[in-house]
Amino acid sequence: MLDLTLAVIGKDMDSFKQFWLDRPHENCDLNLVPNTENRSSAEIGNWFLENAKTTVVGVVHADTLFEDGALSDFTQTALEGKVCGIVGRDPGKGNRWCHNFQEIPGLVRSLLPGKVSTLDSNSVFLRKDLNLRFDEKTFDNFHCYVEDLCLQAQHQGIEVVVPVANAYHTGVSTLDPAWQKQYGKYRALLGEKWKGTKFETT
């Protein structure tokens, strides 16, 4: 069994169909969290960081997909003391994706896995004994709480990386105008909190 507690957050039970149906998931402490009460993802994530019985905690959105072996890859990277996830931003270069095995010049989605400034909020894996916690007060929604944790980590000298892994994020709501407006609000809060720190987000 993997030394991993995985919290999968969705808006309701129907949202887990894509995540769970016919997907090969490794043996871990899997927790499907239907967020029908609109709790912040930061609050949910902190609960698992405080209460998990495993060394590693993963907090992911229901629209992520993990193929066979991927959860092992993220768990092993986290056990090494790094914060990791499916996709993150490399400043001035673009997004690094865990499933990219060939880099195509000029394409923002084509960067190989590696170190990043911040991870996208769709997924994060970390050791709970790093004593990092999500900022529930500032990020009381599902936007930017992971990005903030990544900046906390780097402030403490902890690497933030996108490892090689066969995992994906569909992100079907990303281009929705209401989603973008809400994201803009929390991205501004992130910038204000970390004023003076150079970083980029996905």
Is residue 62 included in any domain, yes or no? Answer: yes
| 80 located within any domain | yes
Q: What is the pLDDT of residue 188?
A: 94
How far is Cα 23 from Cα 9, in angstroms, rounded to an integer? 16
Asked if the structure places residue 92 within a domain, the reply is yes
Q: Residue 172: give its domain's CATH number.
A: 3.90.550.10
Does 200 fall in a domain?
Answer: no
CA distance 180 to 193: 20
Q: Indicate whether 54 belongs to any domain.
A: yes
Residue 185 inside a domain? The answer is yes
pLDDT of residue 147: 98
d(CA 21, CA 8): 14
Q: Is residue 199 part of a domain?
A: no
pLDDT in single tens digits along all 202 residues of the chain: 999 999 999 999 998 887 766 566 678 999 999 999 999 999 999 999 999 999 999 999 999 999 889 999 999 999 999 999 999 999 998 899 998 766 656 555 557 889 999 999 999 999 999 999 999 999 998 999 999 999 999 999 999 999 999 999 987 666 667 778 888 899 999 999 999 999 999 9
**201 occurs within a structural domain:** no
Q: How many domains does the chain have?
A: 1
Partners of 31 in the β-ladder:
7
Range of the domain at 24: 4-193
Tokens (6 digits) for 117: 């400034």
CA distances in angstroms from 103 to 13, 70, 74, 100, 106, listed in the order given: 37, 20, 21, 7, 9
